Structure 1
Amino acid sequence: MSDATLHDHDARLSACPACDAAPLAQRIAAGGGGQEDIVLSLPTIHCATCITDVERVLNRHPGVRDARVNLTLRRVTVDAPGMSAEELIPVVEGIGYEAHELDPAALSASAADRQGRDILMRIGVAGFAMMNIMILSVAVWSGAEDATRDMFHWISGAIALPTVAFAGQPFFASAWRALRHGRLGMDVPISLALVLASAISVYETVQSGHHAYFDAAVMLCFFLLIGRYLDYRTRAVARSAAEELTALEVPRAFRVTTAGDEPVPVAELVPGDLIRIRPGARIPADGEIAEGNSEIDRSLLTGESIPVPARPGVALSAGEVNLTGPLVMRVTAAGRDSSLARLTALVAAAETARGHYTGLADRASRLYSPLVHLLAFCSFLGWYFATHDLRLAVNVAAAVLIITCPCALGLAVPAVVTAASGRLFRRGMLIKDGTALERLAEVDAVVFDKTGTLTMGVPQLVSLDPIPAEARPVALALSQGSGHPLSQALAQALREAGTEPAPLSDLREVPGYGIAGIWQGREVRLGRADWLGARHGEATLSASWLSLGDEGGQGAPIRLEFSDRLRPGAEACVARILGSGRRVMLLSGDAAPVVQDLAQRLGIAEWRAGVTPVEKAEALRDLRQQGLHPLMVGDGLNDTAALTEAHVSISPASALDAARTASDMVLMGSDLAPVAEGLELARSARARIKENFAISLVYNIVAVPIAIAGFATPLMAALAMSLSSISVTLNALRLR
């Protein structure tokens, strides 16, 4: 992305700094620099084994740094500098998976919808055939014999075999791709069971046997398809944060030309294009309003329900909604360069990161697939040698193949992570690091910064009167060179008063202390009281101090007081965390009376004032050395080291770029309540993952012996296998 585009976003005008969430992804992504990741669509993947296979083959390929599959979006993101999609697609296709280059500007929901409709169609065909075969079976069950019975069997076979071949195509195609490339995917035992059930039925019919099982073969296929569709639907309900963001993407825009409005794909827009946005329409790209006035709804991106005014010169981001008036916008970034696309990529990368539980499930699934076939083969041999009944041995083997499919184990972690990240996103919290949710569940101490975190960080100067008129240009030059909220508030007040900045040299900011420069040969400073040789006293208002040097008797630092207000939800958030039994601390660089007053208002017993950035980081390190797992919530440059030192960290969207980059999660709105909710949700998610592992373990302990003992038919096995997968996903949905 160009520097000009970044500058356009840095200059965004916003009614509330916390609403400025979309450019967050742009800045974070831009910070990494380098070539764009390659994104490939993988329409045929459906389980944990697929994820492992694709990631393994890509990560082994020369030139590939990293590859991460997102099962929810059915895509893989590949970090491979200097390589193209055309070079990587054959690598994926070489192990039997269909792959296409994906334009992130295009909606991915259509492919998922087509898959759902395809499964429904196959369910309909299998259900219709099943009912017809069951009608024919009634005659056989009623006592039809010899030629009549054989005729009904042949008619049933003529219906069943094409039905199984067509309706079971998703299983057969996946299994064939796996076997052709020397793998044992989860669809291999299912396909083998369908083939065995059909083969034994054909064998019975050719031998004029009393019973053929064409109805059971079609019913088996029918219920397997229902299980797959229900799994698809439950995962669609547990839609992830990445999918929530993808749903905000707009496929087309109306470009303004001399001949009128021209509908074009968003991917064809280039910076400088003018596009028309009608009332009620979603913003298709990043840009700046050229004409018109309206109100913009940013709720789906920031969690803020109050619309913000829009007028010429205001920057807009893709995914926002134009509410009241028509607008003409000049495009600054579109498609994969838009802030929404970058935010989606950031979240998708977090959702595909491998935590401890994910790695455990993947290893178990890889080991389990060969074990399934070994158990089925041993069951076949055991039953055949014990009874010399080929039909019975095949049925038992088919039941074992189906009932031991490790689908539930493969879904145990992804289903929970997807549901949890989706819920947090809807509450206004963005997960940047995929392991953050796992680490958040371990938190037993929470450390808050004050200004910009527990307070809104948008203080207002109480009065300009303490600053002499001749000193105001110096104060403006110093304050506008600092990113501290108090300095920004001072700069805004001085500019509104018509002050022009004085020329300063050697301007430098000292994190945690303030900013200094050279004016007329002497050092001037703006910052903390102790840095300027002053005392804060007992006042409970935040203050900054201005020193103009010693010349002319102007050496006494000037006290500048600021008022601020609590961030929405701060009191409820702190009370909820304290109520959960976690330790809460407040660390601030502000003066002791100010920090003490805020701590008492919020009920925080442990607080420290006048803390430097190094001391904040040391405090976090001390907590970790005590065996605690601290969460750091901060927003400033002076919090960056502490955010990095913490076990897990959160920053508001209004934080400085350095703080947001260092944090694991970002609050996109102004409300602090999602922090407490995230802590509880993380522990619930960990509990759901353990429950899902327990469900998978108990299911196999109970079901596998039943199948081996011959008490489960292939049809019963299909129902049990589908039930285990659905129960795991439904358990994850309890997080919603």
Structure 2
Amino acid sequence: MAPAEAAADPLPSGAPAAVCRHCGAPAPAGAAFCCPGCAAAHELIQGLGLDAYYDRRCLDPAVAPLIPDPEEIEADLSALVRPDGTEPDGTARWRLDLMVEGISCAACVWLIERLLARHPAVRQGRVNMTTRRLAVVWVGRAEDAAAILAPLRRVGYRLAPYDPGRLGAATRAHEKTLLKAMAVAGFAAANIMLFSVSVWFGVDMDPATRDLMHWVSALIAVPAVGYAIRPFAGPAVAGLKGGRMTMDLPITLAVLLATAMSLWELATHGAHVYFDSAVSLLFFLLIGRFLDSRARGRARATAEQLLTLNAGTVTVLAEDGSRRQLLPERVTPGMTVLLAAGQRAGVDGRVVAGRAHLDDSLISGETVPRPVGPGDAVHAGTLALDGALTLSVAAAGEDTLLAEIVRLMETAEQGRARYVALADRVARLYAPVVHLLGLLTFLGWWGLGGLGWQPALLNGIAVLIVTCPCALGLAVPAVQVMASGRLLKGGVLLKSATALERLATVDTVVLDKTGTLTLGRPTLREDGVDPGVVARAAALAAASRHPLARALAAARPQVAPAPEVREVPGAGLVAGQGAGGPGGERRLGSRAHVGVADARPAEGPELWFAEPGWPAVRFTFTDPLRPDAPAVIAGLKARGLAVEMLSGDRPETVARIAAEAGIEVFQGGLTPAGKTARLAELAARGHRVLMVGDGLNDAPALAAAHVSLSPTSAADLSQTAADAVFQGRRLAPVLEALAVARRADRLVRQNIGLSFTYNALTVPLAVAGLVTPLVAALAMSASSVVVILNALRLGRTRRLDPGPGAG
């Protein structure tokens, strides 16, 4: 049966009549498949004897349907193929790592691996369902990659380059190093402890047996210390080379001193060695370091996920109509690209042709699919759900909004806030102070306390260990990265490292009107206007890109554009045929353009429409509130915040919007200088103001406020003067940012308090000789773990819901 015929093959009785056998998408009534591509894919799977896939699979509605595209252009993957050694007979072996889109369950993994295994040259084909990474190894030629992967494309899976550098390879490599060192230290500590316990509780153990136990402990401890101390010794040595002492230096000294003293005791047949303390210290310290790295990794996971969205290839349409696949970095502005249904955009651009719904939840935070058509903006990383689009490229690679979002995230994490600066100052003072304290403890117990040099040195080592400010060093960054990660998931991007601290102290919120409380785009008001007139005017408006004309055309999207429409720049539109008969003209535009002598002042944005034989009609427009604005304003007031609105619009319009939003204090007709003056007045009264504006004419006010937020969509984020930006159609991120900031501030204070309390309790005990190095290691590591776990609470806090109307 030919694929084209199979697409119309009726389903057997009892089968769902409107579901495609292959992809599960809706199919024409009475047909087995939704398209010839699915019919061909089904035939291929059956022909290879892999039809068990359909019995095993579990379709995930969140994953785009597995619909093959017969016209898909194969990407040139030769640049991604790398050598992987040779076979015993000398045949070259090659490897290719790709990302697979379309995987919905374990059955997909089974099918992909079976399809690859059918090729005689393939030596390995493995898929990781979690990361969607496909690793293929084959023998022969590098050019064979296209033929090997062809069955996957024919079935409907979409392949994209896998870039491990974009997936936090450096972070994972560091965590892998920590994990290996932790495993070595843990294994060594457990075994050394067995011999230590034997010595501690051995009854009448002779010195020779005790020395044997110590020698075995040394054989385990010395290599383990040499390997596991690298994460601390490396930064300590680098700091000394740079002329500074880091927190890793006393840790390194404490471990090396304990090990060296134990080797001295071993060489002199001493009764006590401390290999167990040195190795256990490393083990517990590595646990804290690993947990810290994982906490930071969780906060960066969303940013890394955003980067993977831009990892696919882009279908570029040439002037002669041919198509080719390019990596996003090789696409230049001005090119025309195709975005098929189920694909993610690899560039920023504007729609030239086609209509679709876009899922841009990971970019804007908006969960409702956004309809787009000609002229609308599309950003890299967004997913086309149900239609194909032709885009004109505006930005690619590092110039896209997606790349800007990740840069903002990194900038916010790398900055230094007030609490971070406090922790840094304490850490800088810590090294010389703690070394001096450890030395004084040693000299005091040795010279004044009457102890031998070994017990005195142990007390000094315990001071070095117990006073490590690891908990203080983690107190602020751990909370900051968790807060940044949570806000990023909600569509809030921090641009300033101090934004969280300043947001936590806000007591007054000042909002702009246009583009902030409102959506910033006009909507036609049809009160008292004949629907037929609206339709005829919309037919003319469809020929213009003017914002008001677009709003009028959007009111009647089903109306076909009028023929022979020409645009008069700065005036309006003219159609050659009118309703009044042949030769008449219809005009849409300003009063002067349509010839209206109306003395009434314009109450807002307006268009006039005139056609022969009928009086001119005025269309008025309004800028609607954001869907959740009233609920968010009520939420701000409920939290004890004063709310004001400042706008440059007409006072009567401002009053109407304020009443709809529930704002009692407002001013209209303000210039940018007027807004800045009002903020200065509030600041003089002792108020700490959050300014929320669109970042254009509000830039002076945004810069003058105590802290500022700006909504943004197509505008370049770097052009705003705000400390943070939020995306989407909702105003709820403002409420979320304030709540997260206050919660983060409490957690930072708690962590700093825990750190100082720990040191206030343990340092005197260590100086008094009441803490052994092993107990000091346990206490210090426990304090770091407690601080990290406290910071992780921020990520588990329930997200705020402003209430009904927040949609």
Pick from 665, 683, 688: which aligns with 2:747? 688
Counterpart check, 1:180 vs 2:241: yes
Pick from 352, 356, 359: which aligns with 2:421? 359
Kindly state the Cα deviation for residue 268 of structure 1 after the two structures are TM-superposed. Answer: 5.5
Contact 1:241/1:421, CA 8 A, preserved across alignment: no
TM score, norm. by length of structure 2: 0.64
Contact 2:651/2:667, CA 8 A, preserved across alignment: yes
Contact 1:105/1:267, CA 8 A, preserved across alignment: no
Amino acid at match of 2:476: V
Counterpart in the other structure of 1:632: 691
Contact 2:606/2:621, CA 8 A, preserved across alignment: no
SS in 1 for 2:663: coil
Kindly state the Cα deviation for residue 375 of structure 1 after the two structures are TM-superposed. Answer: 0.9
1:391-413 Cα deviation digits (max 9, x unpaired):
21121111111111122222222
1:333-358 Cα deviation digits (max 9, x unpaired):
44333332222223322332333222
Counterparts of 1:257 and 1:188 in 2: how far apart (Å)? 58
Contact 2:517/2:625, CA 8 A, preserved across alignment: yes
Pick from 615, 626, 630: which aligns with 1:567? 626
Counterpart in the other structure of 2:123: none
- CA distance 1:328–1:212, change in 2 (3 Å): farther
Counterparts of 1:489 and 1:626 in 2: how far apart (Å)? 43
Kindly state the Cα deviation for residue 641 of structure 1 after the two structures are TM-superposed. Answer: 3.4
Kindly state the Cα deviation for residue 214 of structure 1 after the two structures are TM-superposed. Answer: 2.0
Counterpart check, 1:450 vs 2:450: no
Counterparts of 1:347 and 1:524 in 2: how far apart (Å)? 48
Kindly state the Cα deviation for residue 195 of structure 1 after the two structures are TM-superposed. Answer: 0.8
- CA distance 1:243–1:712, change in 2 (3 Å): farther
Counterpart in the other structure of 2:110: none
Counterpart in the other structure of 1:609: 668
Pick from 267, 274, 279: which aligns with 1:213? 274
Alignment of 1:54-453 (within 5 A): 106-140=165-199, 141-143=201-203, 144-239=205-300, 242-243=303-304, 245-246=306-307, 248-250=309-311, 253=313, 267=329, 282-286=344-348, 295-308=357-370, 316-323=378-385, 333-385=395-447, 386-453=449-516
Counterpart in the other structure of 1:461: 524
1:652-679 Cα deviation digits (max 9, x unpaired):
2248669961322222111111212212
Kindly state the Cα deviation for residue 543 of structure 1 after the two structures are TM-superposed. Answer: 2.8
CA RMSD of superposed structures (Å): 4.2
1:490-542 Cα deviation digits (max 9, x unpaired):
6978998756443459xxxxxxxxxxxxxxxxx9899xxxxx99668xxxxx7
Amino acid at match of 1:586: M
Amino acid at match of 1:361: A
Counterpart in the other structure of 1:599: 658
SS in 1 for 2:605: strand
- CA distance 1:125–1:274, change in 2 (3 Å): farther
1:596-639 Cα deviation digits (max 9, x unpaired):
34433433221233444443332222212222122222237543
- CA distance 1:292–1:588, change in 2 (3 Å): closer
Counterparts of 1:383 and 1:588 in 2: how far apart (Å)? 72
Counterparts of 2:683 and 2:592 in 1: how far apart (Å)? 36
- CA distance 1:371–1:241, change in 2 (3 Å): farther
Kindly state the Cα deviation for residue 192 of structure 1 after the two structures are TM-superposed. Answer: 0.8
Counterpart in the other structure of 2:136: none
Contact 2:717/2:725, CA 8 A, preserved across alignment: no
Unaligned runs of 5+ in 2: 1-162, 572-589, 610-615, 796-807
Kindly state the Cα deviation for residue 172 of structure 1 after the two structures are TM-superposed. Answer: 2.0
Kindly state the Cα deviation for residue 570 of structure 1 after the two structures are TM-superposed. Answer: 1.0
Contact 2:513/2:646, CA 8 A, preserved across alignment: yes
Counterpart in the other structure of 2:681: 622
Contact 1:440/1:648, CA 8 A, preserved across alignment: yes
Kindly state the Cα deviation for residue 364 of structure 1 after the two structures are TM-superposed. Answer: 1.9
- CA distance 1:437–1:568, change in 2 (3 Å): same
Amino acid at match of 2:568: A
- CA distance 1:715–1:326, change in 2 (3 Å): farther
- CA distance 1:591–1:377, change in 2 (3 Å): same
Contact 2:317/2:335, CA 8 A, preserved across alignment: no
Contact 2:710/2:724, CA 8 A, preserved across alignment: yes
Counterparts of 1:267 and 1:503 in 2: how far apart (Å)? 37
Contact 2:607/2:620, CA 8 A, preserved across alignment: no
TM score, norm. by length of structure 1: 0.70
Amino acid at match of 2:362: L
Amino acid at match of 1:142: G
Amino acid at match of 2:381: G
Kindly state the Cα deviation for residue 293 of structure 1 after the two structures are TM-superposed. Answer: 7.8
Kindly state the Cα deviation for residue 279 of structure 1 after the two structures are TM-superposed. Answer: 6.8
Give the stretch that moved more between structures: 679-688 or 364-373.
679-688
Counterpart in the other structure of 2:774: 715
- CA distance 1:106–1:239, change in 2 (3 Å): closer
Kindly state the Cα deviation for residue 438 of structure 1 after the two structures are TM-superposed. Answer: 2.1
Counterparts of 1:575 and 1:655 in 2: how far apart (Å)? 29
- CA distance 1:400–1:420, change in 2 (3 Å): same
Counterparts of 1:409 and 1:480 in 2: how far apart (Å)? 57
Kindly state the Cα deviation for residue 428 of structure 1 after the two structures are TM-superposed. Answer: 1.5
Counterparts of 2:287 and 2:415 in 1: how far apart (Å)? 30
Counterparts of 1:631 and 1:238 in 2: how far apart (Å)? 25
Counterpart in the other structure of 2:568: 502
Counterpart in the other structure of 2:730: 671
Contact 2:524/2:555, CA 8 A, preserved across alignment: yes
- CA distance 1:310–1:375, change in 2 (3 Å): same
Contact 2:246/2:427, CA 8 A, preserved across alignment: no
Unaligned runs of 5+ in 1: 1-103, 506-522, 527-531, 537-541, 549-556
Amino acid at match of 1:714: P
Counterparts of 1:626 and 1:525 in 2: how far apart (Å)? 49
1:527-569 Cα deviation digits (max 9, x unpaired):
xxxxx99668xxxxx7336899xxxxxxxx9975324433122
SS in 2 for 1:239: helix
Give the stretch that moved more between structures: 493-502 or 437-446.
493-502
The total of aligned residue pairs comes to 589
- CA distance 1:319–1:456, change in 2 (3 Å): same
- CA distance 1:642–1:454, change in 2 (3 Å): same
Contact 1:107/1:249, CA 8 A, preserved across alignment: no
1:54-98 Cα deviation digits (max 9, x unpaired):
xxxxxxxxxxxxxxxxxxxxxxxxxxxxxxxxxxxxxxxxxxxxx
Kindly state the Cα deviation for residue 373 of structure 1 after the two structures are TM-superposed. Answer: 0.9
Counterparts of 2:512 and 2:618 in 1: how far apart (Å)? 23
SS in 2 for 1:185: coil
Counterparts of 1:480 and 1:293 in 2: how far apart (Å)? 16
Counterparts of 1:221 and 1:233 in 2: how far apart (Å)? 18
Counterpart in the other structure of 1:697: 756
Amino acid at match of 1:163: A
- CA distance 1:711–1:316, change in 2 (3 Å): same
SS in 2 for 1:635: coil
SS in 2 for 1:543: coil
